[in-house]
Amino acid sequence: MQATKQSAFVALFATAAVLASGTVHAAALDQFKSFVATTKSAKGEFTQQQITKSKSGKAAPVSSGSFVFARPGKFIWTYQKPYEQLLQADGETLYIYDKDLNQVTTRKLGNALGSSPAAILFGSNDLEKNFTLSEAGERDGAEWLTAVPKTKDTTFEQIGIGLKGGVPVAMELKDQFGQVSVLKFSNFQRNPALGAQQFRFEVPKGADVVNQ
């Protein structure tokens, strides 16, 4: 289960803003461009679930936690339930801490964000360089946008982004095998004050460190 969460976020890596006009029903693309242009940092809470049922017919459990990010490439994504796990990046390195194993895995960010869903929240503002964006209509009280990675070297073939009032409220991640994971955001706070050392990772006492 932890591997599933990790792949969904790491390929997610794996999420604002208020419209200048404040129009709730503005087109998704307009809301999204405003979000990208005006949001340098944010924090909030999330739930995550793979909605494709397993062969047993059972729905996947819902994961939940909190996040904080500062563009570009700095974030803390914390899974609190059903398992504790931390994904943190300081702009150069991604740290994945598994509390149960007391193990830290490190990876260089490099261009890893690129065409991943994480780029939408955590990356640079040049998203149209990596994604083809199109309107996807209204659903569940939100305006939806479809983002298709321009590169084939990515786990996801399509990303749906639901926005309401200029704030991302949901993301739907469809991978190359047809599986769909849904992220829902709440308590989104735009451009909060963050400390200079907010994203500096400290290895927990006694933890093993694995470099990838």
pLDDT, tens digit, 9 for 90 and up, residues 125-164: 667 777 888 999 999 899 999 988 887 766 778 889 999 9
Give me the pLDDT at residue 97, please. 94
Contacts of 79 (CB under 8 A, 6+ apart): 5, 63, 64, 65, 85, 86, 87
Residue 190 in tokens: 């735009």
Residue 9 in tokens: 């976020």
Kindly provide the b/e burial profile for residues 74-99, where b requires at least 16 CB atoms within 10 angstroms of the residue's own CB. Answer: bbbbbbeeeeebbbbbbeeebbbbbe
Residues 121, 74: contact at Cβ < 8 Å?
no
Q: Which residues of the chain, if any, have pLDDT below 50?
A: 10-11, 13-25
Residue 2 phi, psi (nearest 5): -65, -35
Give me the pLDDT at residue 122, please. 73
Give me the pLDDT at residue 19, please. 25
Q: Which CATH number fits domain 2-199: 2.50.20.10, 3.60.21.10, 2.40.37.10, 2.60.40.1730?
A: 2.50.20.10
Give me the pLDDT at residue 101, please. 92
Q: How far apart are CA 54 and CA 182, in angstroms?
A: 15
Give me the pLDDT at residue 212, please. 81
